[in-house]
């Protein structure tokens, strides 16, 4: 009988620890979602590769307005354009070209996830310009 009681207590302790870890993880997720992007968060997105600096952008066509948004640790580009005939890609290159200068899509021309390369700027300069331009979304 004591064995079963000890086993039951051990199981309940594990279940409460799992529930606490779940709540802790959920809280951290919600805090990360609400927090505004800082330099450290942007440095996790931007990396040096090849002859320039690269970062990933998720593209959403047919949005109400054209804007670049930081949400959930990722960059999202909302475009008013229709995805036909690569209009969204041209819109993305035009938008980022005003910010960085020489910009190209390295990977994902036909996908919503694009890998963007910026040439002629350092990683720190790209991060600082992204921080100035990005709209902060609050849920």
- pTM equals 0.70
DSSP string, 27-90: HHHHHHHHSPP-HHHHHHH-EEETTEEEEEEEEESS-SS-EEEEETTEEEEE-SS-SGGGHHHH
- Nearest CA to 78 out of 55, 53, 95 is that of 95
The answer to whether residues 74 and 42 touch, using CB atoms and an 8 Å cutoff, is no
- pLDDT-derived band at 139 (thresholds 50, 70, 90) equals very low
The answer to whether residues 70 and 51 touch, using CB atoms and an 8 Å cutoff, is no
Per-residue pLDDT reduced to its tens digit, 83-102: 888 999 999 999 999 999 99
């Amino acid at each position: 009988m004591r064995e079963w009681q000890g086993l039951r207590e051990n199981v309940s302790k594990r279940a409460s620890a799992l529930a606490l870890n779940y709540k802790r993880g959920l809280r951290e997720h919600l805090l990360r979602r609400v927090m505004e992007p800082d330099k450290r968060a942007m440095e996790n997105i931007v990396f040096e590769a090849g002859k320039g600096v690269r970062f990933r952008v998720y593209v959403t066509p047919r949005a109400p307005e054209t804007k670049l948004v930081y949400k959930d640790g990722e960059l999202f580009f909302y475009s008013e354009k229709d995805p036909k005939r690569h209009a969204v890609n041209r819109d993305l290159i035009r938008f980022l070209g005003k910010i960085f200068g020489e910009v190209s899509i390295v990977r994902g021309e036909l996908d919503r996830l694009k890998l963007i390369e910026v040439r002629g700027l350092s990683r720190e300069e790209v991060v600082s310009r992204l921080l100035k331009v990005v709209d902060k979304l609050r849920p």
